[in-house]
Amino acid sequence: MNVRFCKATLAVSLLSLSVGCAAPARYDYTAYRANRPASIVVLPPLNKSMEVAASYGVLSRATAPLAEAGYYVLPVALVDETLKQNGLAMPDDMHNAPPTKLREVFGADAALYMEVTKYGATYAILASDVTVTANAKMIDLRSGDVLWAGSASASTAEQQSQSGGGLVGLLIVAVINQIINTVADDRSTQMAAITNQRLLGAGQLNGPLYGPRSPKYQSD
């Protein structure tokens, strides 16, 4: 009885250990390496969050990580304007535009289709966090291949240290945070910047590869 119990426990703990240690699956970069885009047009993200500002909050922070990764990123405000002038009023319409048409107008090698699922503050009694969650898919506009896809998230909750103060301290922090979070949308754009860095920055597990303008091009 005892021995059997021990065996069972051991088996379970070994199993959980192996699950815990299993490395996350590596993204398959075959198509990415075969196509190697140099320029990327980022379409205004679809907004699946409750916040109206989400799409453009994330879009305005998408250029830096991709450009620092070594890509030419087409100017996002001009691209948005051009799409609107061509009768595509909403991100949903823009995402449905034929890739060949995008290639024709923007001359970009690849397009990035993003979706924001969480954006902005969530209110609770003890904590009020600002979270931004997004995913992205990179499509080659020359071949139509899916080059890469990923998702990432960032939250102010990561930064708030729970150091002392007890319940009263926590309540004060929560109230202050709620004030800050309502007054400024700065925190949302800050979180959007971190989310985009985690999502679109090169040199990290399952992230985009380095582009031609990076000294690390083809090193990954």
Interface pick for other proteins out of 61, 114, 121, 199 (rule CB under 8 A) = 61
Does the footprint of other proteins cover residue 219 (CB under 8 A)? no
* Residues with Cβ within 8 Å of residue 144, at least 6 apart in sequence: 99
Interface pick for other proteins out of 32, 35, 71, 154 (rule CB under 8 A) = 71
* Residues with Cβ within 8 Å of residue 111, at least 6 apart in sequence: 40, 41, 42, 43, 99, 102, 138, 139, 141
Q: Rounded distance, CA 155 to CA 129, Å? A: 7
Q: Considering beta carbons, is residue 32 or 210 the nearer one to other proteins?
A: 210
Does the footprint of other proteins cover residue 73 (CB under 8 A)? yes
The CB-of-137 to other proteins minimum distance in angstroms stands at 21
Q: Considering beta carbons, is residue 73 or 173 the nearer one to other proteins?
A: 73
Interface pick for other proteins out of 31, 53, 90, 157 (rule CB under 8 A) = 53
How many residues of this chain bind other proteins (CB under 8 A)? 33
Interface pick for other proteins out of 67, 90, 157, 180 (rule CB under 8 A) = 67
C-beta of residue 190 within 8 angstroms of C-beta of residue 49: no
Alpha helices, DSSP H, located in the chain: 2-21, 30-35, 54-59, 63-68, 76-85, 91-95, 99-106, 166-183, 186-200
Does the footprint of other proteins cover residue 60 (CB under 8 A)? yes
Residues 89-148 that bind other proteins (CB under 8 A): 105-108
Question: Rg of the chain's alpha carbons, rounded to an integer?
Answer: 22
Does the footprint of other proteins cover residue 29 (CB under 8 A)? no
